Amino acid sequence: MKTYLLGGLISAAIIASPAYLWANEPHSKHLHQSKQSVYANKQLLTLKEAVNKAIENAPSLASNAYAVQSAKASETQAGVLPNPEAYFEAENILGSGAYNDFDSAEYSLGISQKIELGGKRTARKNVAKAQTNKISALSTLEQLKLERDVHVAYANILTEEEGLRLAKSQQDVARKMLKTVSRRVSKAAEADIQKTKAELALSSAKIKVRQSEQRLSIAQKRLANLIGESELLYALDHSHLFDIHKPSPLDDYLAKIDTLPDVAQFQYLEQEKQAELDYELAHKVPDPELSLGVRHFSDSDDNAFMVGVSMPIPIHNQNHGNIAKANAELSKVSSDKNVIKRSLEQEIINQWQSLETAYIESKELRWKLIPSAEKAFKQASSNYERGKFSYLEVLDAQRTLAEVKEQYYQSLKNYHIAQANIERLTSGE
């Protein structure tokens, strides 16, 4: 009779606990609108808002913006024509004899202009343009990485908060169990063993709460740092954690591979190296320099126009070394681009598989394993009440239910991490 009474008290304590209530409430209602949030009474911060804050406050992104501006300025400068040169000459002055003064001087005044041939100016502009695009692609990559980091940090906090709530509910159950067991009148050895087990269960639950609180604190600091604040003063949107969808087909992601920023930066680098090669090839064509001027003859007080053309003769230096170097660099970049494409393709496959696995596991845990664990727990409690099960069997069933829920939260976290990674990899330029 005492055993039945004890079983009834324990079952009542467990069934009345937050953990058990969670198991029997509608999924979305409890989890999306939790009243036990450690962020209660704080302003809500959505994932999108967190991302925007991170972008606004990231010093590296501001630096990248200036780098792009600098590159565009260089691009403008690359298209500028060479300046003309003015010259002045005076001959037959301050010498000896008849040339000891300025009376017999001859003066020349003119202007010269280098004419770039072979497409040098176009190639130079193309180099600068490709450099601008490359820097812009790198800036895009850094922003995408920041968005990924915020997404992961956000999901970590949500997971740790749910884990903390679960740990606290387990602690409450363990405390109620201990009180129930302690109220037993019997001094039998079995009762002492049950009390010891209950005490151990409570101690273990307390440790889990402390560990969960520590992990949550670390996760909070991480997100606060990413959004540019010293501490996290916001509540987070828990509906995001449970907002999962079947992943798009893998081929949809792989089809984008040539347009992705990871590949684009190598494409722009390839364009830069091609333009540099064109520029070096253009230097095989010498640039003539045209001059136009006038000469004044002092002795006759006459003037005459002058026209001149000068051009280097490419005998010794035909720029072969620079051309060979540019060719080698272009080939290397082309090879690196192919390597990064293969690596990116494999990483997309890996992340998609992780995403698909996490999605399936989450559904399996939520709709099959958790209900089964809940059923087993209720049965163990009921059988204990009737004296058919031991206290240890009830404790094991309760522990199994908690572990399954922890696995569920972990699968949700894995889903969001994989989702964040695949979005980082497959976002368009």
The CB density around residue 216, as the number of other CB atoms within 10 Å, is 19
Q: Taking a C-beta distance cutoff of 8 angstroms, is the pair 81, 287 a contact?
A: no
Place of tokens 């064509």: 285
Per-residue model confidence (pLDDT) at position 299: 73
Question: Which structural domains are found in the chain, ordered by start?
Answer: 2-80+134-284+335-426 (1.20.1600.10)
Q: Taking a C-beta distance cutoff of 8 angstroms, is the pair 49, 205 a contact?
A: no
Q: Where are the beta strands (DSSP E) in 281-418?
A: 289-297, 302-310
Q: Taking a C-beta distance cutoff of 8 angstroms, is the pair 104, 98 a contact?
A: yes
- Among candidate residues 99, 222, 96, 112, the one with its CA nearest the CA of residue 157: 222
Q: What is the mean pLDDT of residues 118-146?
A: 90
Q: What is the mean pLDDT of residues 5-9?
A: 43
pLDDT band at 6 (very low <50, low <70, confident <90, very high): very low
Q: Is the pLDDT of residue 23 over 70?
A: no
Count of alpha carbons within 13 angstroms of residue 207, beta-carbon side: 6
Phi and psi, residue 246, nearest 5°: -60, 130
Strands of the 302-310 sheet, one edge to the other: 85-91, 106-114, 289-297, 302-310
Place of tokens 């091609």: 274
Per-residue model confidence (pLDDT) at position 20: 42
Q: Taking a C-beta distance cutoff of 8 angstroms, is the pair 354, 347 a contact?
A: no
pLDDT > 70 fraction of the chain, expressed in percent and rounded: 85
Within 291-319, where are the H helices?
Answer: none
Q: Is the pLDDT of residue 94 over 80?
A: no
pLDDT band at 32 (very low <50, low <70, confident <90, very high): very low
Q: Taking a C-beta distance cutoff of 8 angstroms, is the pair 298, 106 a contact?
A: yes
pLDDT tens digits, one per residue of 335-374: 999 999 999 999 999 999 999 999 999 999 999 999 999 9
pLDDT band at 261 (very low <50, low <70, confident <90, very high): confident
Entry field: residues in the chain: 429
Per-residue model confidence (pLDDT) at position 311: 85
- Among candidate residues 256, 218, 55, the one with its CA nearest the CA of residue 148: 55
Alpha carbon distance 70, 79 (integer Å) = 15
Q: Is the pLDDT of residue 29 over 60?
A: no
- Among candidate residues 53, 55, 47, the one with its CA nearest the CA of residue 237: 47
Tokens representing 308 are 């001149």
Per-residue model confidence (pLDDT) at position 14: 45
Q: Taking a C-beta distance cutoff of 8 angstroms, is the pair 67, 75 a contact?
A: no
Q: Taking a C-beta distance cutoff of 8 angstroms, is the pair 429, 137 a contact?
A: yes
pLDDT tens digits, one per residue of 275-319: 989 988 988 888 899 999 998 887 778 888 889 888 888 888 788
Place of tokens 């569920």: 408
What sign results for the dihedral spanned by CA atoms 314, 320, 321, 323? positive
